Structures are given as C-alpha cells and as structure tokens.
C-alpha cells in the first residue's frame, strides 16, 4: 500500500514513528510537511486545535478519499469529523492499530471514530502494548527543522503523575508511566544522527519520569542522558520540561553534565490560590526551592507562566510579577490560559460566562492605549517584566516590544477562535 503521512508545517514525532511502523510492515511510506499526497491512504498528523480551522487543511482533506486524522485533537473526534471531511479519526495511540487501519479501514479497529449511516461510530482506544517501536521514518529535511532549538523532540515515556487542569498529557496518555527501553531510544538517536539530525530534545511532560516505577528512577534517567549525550554531544541534547517536585540534586547534575544545561519549569503562577485552582500539586515555595537548587548546581532555568486563568485577580497577577522578579529566570514563556480539548480547564472556560473571563474584559490599566483585553495585557506585561528580570537583561528595543505585543495579541485572538470552535462541540467534549 502507498501511504503518505502529512504533518503540516512541522514533522511531529508521532508522524515519524508511525512512518517507521508502516515501513516495517512492508508499506511504501512517504512523509512530508507539505499539504500534498498521491498515496492510496493519507495519514494527517495534527498537533493543534487551530489546524482544524485552516482552510488549506480543510480543502486538502475534502479533496481526498482516504484521509485518517491523528493527534491530540482525537480526544474530541466529533469536532474533528465535524470540521474535516476525513474518513476516520484516531482517538488514542496509533502504533498498534495504524497498519490495520490503512490495510482494511476503520471498522473493527480499536481507538478510531468514523461516520457510518449518518452517525459517528467510536471504538474504545487501547494503550500501545510496548512503546519500543521500529526505527522512525526520517525525512531528508528533518535536519533543517527547528522547534525551540531542536530538530526534533523524541519521546522516552508516556503519561504523567500530575493532573494539571490545563494539560492534555494525563488525559491522552494516562497517569501511569510507561517507558521505552534505553536500547530502543539509543538505536533511534543513532539512526537520527546517521541521517544528519544534530539537535534532539526529549519531550514527554516531565523528563525525570523516564523509567518511573513507584518512584523516580534516577539511575535510569541518568543512564539515558549519558547514553544519548555520548552519541550527540551535550551541546545537542536537551531535556527541557520538568516538574519542580520531580527534580533533585542527582537529576539536575545529570541535566548539567549531559545536556545543554537548561531546565524549563512549568511555574505557571506566583499565587498559591491559582496554583491550587490549576491542580498543579505544588506551591510557590516549591517553585522557588527548585529554582534555587538548579541555579546552585549551575543549571540555567527557564520558566513558563499561564495568565488570565479563570479567577485570577489583579492581586494574583501582581504576585506572579513579584515571583518573576525574585526568581530572576534566564528565560520566560507566557501563555494565556487556553481551553485545550479534553482538559478540565476547557470545560471550565466554556461553562463560565465570557464577561467573567479576563480575555473578554477590556484592559483599563497602563496599556489601555494598546486596546488589549486584560488577559492579553497581563501576558504582554509579564513578558516585558520577565525580560527585565533576567540575570542579564536584553535592551528593550522597539522590535522586542512589538514582538511581545504581537505575541500577546495573537494568543488572545487564537484562543477566542478555539473557544468559538469548542463551543460548537461543547456537548461532546470529554
Ligand atoms: S503540565 Fe506537566 S506536570 Fe502537569 S500534567 Fe502536564 S505534563 Fe504533567
């Protein structure tokens, strides 16, 4: 069978893995970032809800017979099938079912949804039996891809112990940790290096959960980093995402010694009230403690924050500003609270009157002339503030100011579009 895997704009890791699985089963597989396909079957890998609204993607799907859609959007298959004229949607993990799906169609395959006789039929997803998989299919131009400094993010494990209200990871992959073997990961990275990939990042929610079995398996984590660093060199390996309560001296020393030496903590807020509302499971003091520990060991620390969370008052936001000042982070990412399908936050935002959400309130403070919503203004303000609180601040040029302003506005607009879309499928959201 000729199978084309289309991963619009960015090669997702899942698309590479499915390509490898299908190739091992004897299919002729091509993978592309462009919206083009001549295959008997097309697998479309989506990483964002907004992609469902992209007219080019909609036209691409409508013009073809056998398009199967996969990715986190599969958590709400009614929405995917409502927006795209696809043959079916994969609603869970794809490795164990993809061959059957392309060979015989969706009927009887677990973890898919498709239209039949005017109704949407859904089968229950089953977790992949073993995460050790065939070598991924590596396209020639993967070495030119740059996603936050890496050519590609690889997966070492699935699942998260956390249950943060805004996050899809535990909803899609569960709260039990399943890890790949180090041998399987090493073989994959060796193959990537052979194909010209130089910079690899490890994704998966919290890197230090690799090998977790009832407790953090520090030895496995350190061994995995040491093995990958020996292949790529420490300057080409990163393991950015960490929970602050799942790092200690051993973990952070391994990050320092075997990777580029950065961590990005999901700090989210400087207000304990908001951290609790987010079900983050940590306190502001936990955040400070992890930052101090990392810095004391020579690890550079970036932090991500969420503003405009339902119920976040101006005082809560001021606490976040104060937190950023005290923490003096090397890098700061700010997002406006986004209703990602399948998360408790999505239901909360959709069920709340819009006038109560800061995204729909006019900002009347210092940046009033910019005509931002309150959430956009907080996003913009924290980005500027984070920049000025860096250990070595950059000069605030007009370009930088405008970049942050555009980013904050763009986030606000995108989230409003997503909210309108999710509102159409409110009754189907998990
Ligand atoms: S945000 Fe991070 S810690 Fe929280 S549930 Fe998601 S992956 Fe886990």
Q: So what's the pLDDT on residue 429?
A: 87
Contact 170, 163 (CB under 8 A): yes
Nearest CA to ligand 1 atom 4: 164
Identify the pLDDT of residue 395: 86
Is ligand 1 within 6 A of the CB of residue 160?
yes
| Alpha-carbon gap, residue 121 to 425, rounded angstroms | 16
Percent helix, strand, coil in the chain, to 5, is 45, 15, 40
The predicted structure's pLDDT at residue 312: 98
Show the low-confidence residues of the chain (pLDDT under 70).
Answer: 204
Cα 14–chain centre separation: 12
* Per-residue pLDDT at 394: 83
Check pocket membership of 170 for ligand 1, CB cut-off 6 A.
yes
pTM of the shown model: 0.94
3: which 2 tokens? Answer: 């199978």
Nearest CA to ligand 1 atom 6: 167
Domains defined along the chain, listed by start: 2-122 (3.40.50), 138-244 (3.30.750.210), 261-430 (3.30.750.200)
d(CA 198, CA 237): 9
Query: What are the pLDDT digits (tens) for 315-342?
Result: 999 999 999 999 999 999 999 999 999 9
Residue to mutate, 206, 210, 304, ligand 1, most ligand atoms under 8 Å from C-beta: 206
| Cβ contact 350:423 at 8 Å | yes
Both tokens of 29, joined, read 């597989």
Helix H or strand E encompassing 218: helix 218-232
175 Cα: distance to centroid of ligand 1 (angstroms): 10
Instruction: Identify which of 243, 245, 304, 346 to mutate to test ligand 1's pocket (most ligand atoms within 8 A of the CB).
Output: 243
d(CA 365, CA 185): 51
- Give long-range contacts, CB 8 A cutoff, 24+ apart: 401-410: 404/380, 405/370, 405/380, 407/379, 407/380, 407/383, 408/334, 408/336, 408/372, 408/376, 408/377, 408/379, 408/380, 408/383, 409/372, 409/376
Q: Which helix (H) or strand (E) holds 6?
A: strand 2-6
- Is there an atom of ligand 1 within 6 Å of 243 CB? yes
Whether ligand 1 lies within 6 angstroms of the CB of 159 is answered as no
- Provide the token pair at 218: 């520090």
Residue 195 makes CB contacts below 8 A (sequence gap 6+) with 138, 140, 142, 143
Q: Is the CB of 266 under 6 A from ligand 1?
A: yes
- Pocket of ligand 1 contains residue 240 by CB under 6 Å: no
Per the CB < 8 A criterion, the answer to whether 312 and 400 are in contact is no
Confidence at residue 430, expressed as pLDDT on a 0 to 100 scale: 79
Other CB atoms within a 10 A radius of the CB of residue 265 amount to: 24
Contacts of 328 (CB under 8 A, 6+ apart): 389, 390, 391
Any atom of ligand 1 within 6 Å of the Cβ of 167: yes
Q: How many Cβ atoms sit within 10 Å of the Cβ of residue 298?
A: 12
Alpha helices in 90-205 (DSSP H): 98-104, 169-173, 182-194
Task: Ligand 1 pocket test: pick from 159, 167, 264, 306 the residue with the most ligand atoms within 8 Å of its Cβ.
Answer: 167
Ligand 1 nearest-atom number relative to CA 160:
8
For every residue of 152-166, DSSP letters joined together read: EEEESEE--S---TT
Beta-carbon contacts of residue 155 (< 8 Å; ≥ 6 apart): 13, 17, 131, 180, 202, 203, 204
Residue 354's pLDDT is what? 95
- State residue 392's pLDDT score: 87
Within 8 A by CB and 6+ apart from 419, the residues are 339, 349, 350
Can you count the helices (H) and strands (E) in the chain?
A: 14, 16
Does residue 52 contact residue 79 with C-beta atoms inside 8 Å? yes
Q: Residue with the nearest Cα to atom 7 of ligand 1?
A: 205
Asked if 100 and 147 count as a contact pair (C-beta separation under 8 A), the reply is: no
**Residues 336 and 379 sit within 8 Å (Cβ to Cβ):** yes
- The response to whether residue 139 sits with its C-beta less than 6 Å from ligand 1 reads no
- Cβ contact 265:290 at 8 Å: yes
Site to substitute for ligand 1 among 155, 170, 306, most atoms within 8 A of C-beta: 170
Q: Please check whether residue 128 is in contact with residue 20, taking contact to mean a CB–CB distance below 8 angstroms.
A: no
CA neighbor of 88 nearest in space, from 72, 103, 74: 74
């Amino acid at each position: 069978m000729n199978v084309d895997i289309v991963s619009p704009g960015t090669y997702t890791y899942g698309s590479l893995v499915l390509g490898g699985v299908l190739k091992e089963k004897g299919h002729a597989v091509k993978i592309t970032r462009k919206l083009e396909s001549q295959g008997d079957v097309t697998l479309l890998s989506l990483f964002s809800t907004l992609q469902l609204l992209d007219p080019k993607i909609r036209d691409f799907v409508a013009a073809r017979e056998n398009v199967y859609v996969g990715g986190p959007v599969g958590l709400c298959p009614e929405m995917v099938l409502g927006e795209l004229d696809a043959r079916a949607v994969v609603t869970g993990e794809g490795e164990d079912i993809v061959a059957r799906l392309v060979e015989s169609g969706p009927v009887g395959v677990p973890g898919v949804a498709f239209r039949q006789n005017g109704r949407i039929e859904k089968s229950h997803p089953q977790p992949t039996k073993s995460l050790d998989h065939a070598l991924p299919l590596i396209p020639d131009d993967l070495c030119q891809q740059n996603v936050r400094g890496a050519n590609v993010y690889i997966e070492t494990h699935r699942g998260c112990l956390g249950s943060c209200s805004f996050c899809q990871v535990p909803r899609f992959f569960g709260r039990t940790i399943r890890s790949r073997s180090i041998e399987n990961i090493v073989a994959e990275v060796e193959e990537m290096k052979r194909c010209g990939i130089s910079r690899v990042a490890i994704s998966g929610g919290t890197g230090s959960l690799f090998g977790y079995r009832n407790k953090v398996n520090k030895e496995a984590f350190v061994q995995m980093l040491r093995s990958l660093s020996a292949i790529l060199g420490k300057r080409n390996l990163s393991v950015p995402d960490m929970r602050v309560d799942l790092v200690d001296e051993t973990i952070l020393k391994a990050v320092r010694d075997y990777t580029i030496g950065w961590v990005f903590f999901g700090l989210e807020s400087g207000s304990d009230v908001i951290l609790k509302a987010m079900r983050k499971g940590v306190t502001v003091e936990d955040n400070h403690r992890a930052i101090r520990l990392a810095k004391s060991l020579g690890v550079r620390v970036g932090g991500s924050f969420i503003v405009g969370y339902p119920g976040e008052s101006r005082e809560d936001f001021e606490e976040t500003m104060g937190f950023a000042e005290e923490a003096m982070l090397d890098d700061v990412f700010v997002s406006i609270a986004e209703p990602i399908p399948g998360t408790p936050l999505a239901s909360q935002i959709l069920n709340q009157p819009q006038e109560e959400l800061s995204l729909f309130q006019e900002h009347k403070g210092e940046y009033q002339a910019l005509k931002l919503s309150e959430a956009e203004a907080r996003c913009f303000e924290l980005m500027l503030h984070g920049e000025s609180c860096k250990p070595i601040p950059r000069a605030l040029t007009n370009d930088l100011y405008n970049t942050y302003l555009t980013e904050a506005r763009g986030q606000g607009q995108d989230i409003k579009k997503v909210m309108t879309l999710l509102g159409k499928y409110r009754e189907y959201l998990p």
